[in-house]
Amino acid sequence: MNLSGKALLNIHERELEERHNAFNKSANTRKRVVYWIGFLDGALSSQRIEEGEEDAILAEAGKFAEFFNDPDASDLADDIRAKCFSSETDLVDQLKQVIDDKRAELGSGSTSVETDEMNEFLGFCAGIICDGRVLEAEVRAILQRFKSSHILMNASPFSPLKAAVETAMDDDILTDNEAEEIQEWIAQLVGDGFIDTGIPNIGSVAKLDEPITDPNEIEIVGSVFVLTGPMRMGPRSFIMSEIVSVGGICASRTTKKTDFVVISSTASRHWRTTHFGTKIERARELIEEGQKLRFVSEVTLENVIKAARA
């Protein structure tokens, strides 16, 4: 019996959909693999394992293994937990081997060079701030990535970070304020590091409620605030001091004690669709668990501080 034209059309459409879904799955898998490669490269960009990085690498390896049932990531996580590495050099060599193996597995692939390069750079940045700080050697490594890639040099989402890195390295000396600014621009791109959040970076996507815009809804005295992303008010350390000066409390990590998560004005245009930060994601989880935690816009925080000083 011959199939009708309508039935044949339905079969064809189903096959196209299956191929499309398979392609999307492959592309998403490749994106996270490339991101994982970049993350490990970023963690190694200082040429050593810094305090806190081993814990961050363990968390990321565990999450990567969970996503993809990846034996290399699983073995790496198991070895770190079991403290199998005889020295820091031994761990560094193993991480470099993982990077080489993953690059070999990817091959040329089906995505564009531009997509791969940008995703790897995002992972690279996440690896740099996974320990909650930025070193001069890491800033030099970021600058070298920009200089060696016309794709990164011309990518508008990275322009503020590129400008901050170029300015910082103009005199070949990284100051504390410059390091803080660079860290905040990186946090805007990939979220805060594992040390700041306690949450693996790979695969996180924030989903947010609308922030508070009425200053009257915020009692600043005794409330715990967590800041996310670069703020127009100034460096994070300055804003934290302003909050404390009017009776508030600042924390670096979103926990059950957090009352308000402050969303920067830079982030507010993109927070519903971009990977902006695990502080935000953790806040979302706590809200869903019933915690009385609220998001607040940066402008609203400014007005609350001004009112408290009046």
Q: Summarize pLDDT for 281-305 with one digit per residue, the tens.
A: 778 778 878 888 998 988 899 999 9
Q: Using CA atoms, how far apart are residues 75 and 81, in angstroms rounded to an integer? A: 10
- In this structure, are 145 and 31 located in the same domain? yes
The pLDDT value given to residue 174: 95
Q: Are residues 166 and 235 in the same domain?
A: no
pLDDT of residue 277: 56
Tell me, yes or no, whether 185 and 225 share the same domain: no
CA atoms within 13 A on the CB side of 124: 20
Same domain, yes or no: 127 and 186? yes
pLDDT at 33: 84
Q: In this predicted structure, what is the pLDDT of residue 92?
A: 93
**Over residues 64-74, mean pLDDT:** 81
Q: Are residues 53 and 165 in the same domain?
A: yes
pLDDT confidence bin for 23, thresholds 50/70/90: very low
Mark whether 187 and 48 lie in a shared domain: yes
Are 129 and 15 in a shared domain?
yes
pLDDT band at 34 (very low <50, low <70, confident <90, very high): confident
In a domain, 167, yes or no: yes
- Of the pLDDT bands very low, low, confident and very high (cuts 50, 70, 90), residue 29 is confident
pLDDT digit string, tens, across residues 139-178 = 999 999 999 999 999 888 888 999 999 999 999 999 999 9
Residue 243 belongs to domain spanning: 215-309
Q: Is residue 190 a part of any domain in this protein? A: yes
- Please, are residues 135 and 46 in contact by the beta-carbon 8 Å criterion? yes
3-state secondary structure the chain: CCCCHHHHHHHHHHHHHHHHHHHHHHHHHHHHHHHHHHHHHHHCCCCCCCCCHHHHHHHHHHHHHHHHCCHHHHHHHHHHHCCCCCCHHHHHHHHHHHHHHHHHHHCCCCCCHHHHHHHHHHHHHHHHCCCCCCCHHHHHHHHHHHHCCHHHHCCHHHHHHHHHHHHHCCCCCCCHHHHHHHHHHHHHHHCCCHHHHCCCCCCCCCCCCCCECCHHHCCCCCCEEEEECCECCECHHHHHHHHHHCCCEEECCCCCCCCEEEECCCHHHCCCCCCCCHHHHHHHHHHHCCCCCEEEEHHHHHHHHHHHHC
What tens digit of pLDDT does each residue of 105-143 get?
Answer: 887 555 567 878 888 998 899 899 988 889 999 999 999
- How many CB atoms sit inside 10 A of residue 66's CB? 15
Does residue 130 sit within a domain? yes
Number of domains in the chain: 2
Pick from 196-200, 201-205, 301-305 the range whose average pLDDT is largest: 301-305
* Residue 95 within a domain: yes
Residue 208 covered by a domain: no
Is residue 141 assigned to a domain?
A: yes
**Over residues 36-43, mean pLDDT:** 92
User: What is d(CA 289, CA 148) in angstroms, rounded to the nearest whole number?
Assistant: 46
Is 80 exceeded by the pLDDT of residue 85?
A: yes
Residue 5: the pLDDT is 54
pTM: 0.61
- C-alpha dist (Å) from residue 239 to 157, 161, 174, 228: 24, 20, 21, 11
One domain for residues 191 and 222: no
**pLDDT: which is higher, 243 or 236:** 243
Asked whether the predicted pLDDT for residue 77 surpasses 60, the reply is yes
Residues 183 and 63 in one domain: yes
Is 202 among the domain residues? no
**23 and 146 housed in the same domain:** yes
Q: What is the mean pLDDT of residues 218-229?
A: 91
The CATH number linked to 290 is 3.40.50.10190
Query: Residues 17, 112: one domain?
Result: yes
Are 154 and 266 found together in one domain?
no
Handedness of CA 83, 86, 89, 94 (dihedral sign): negative
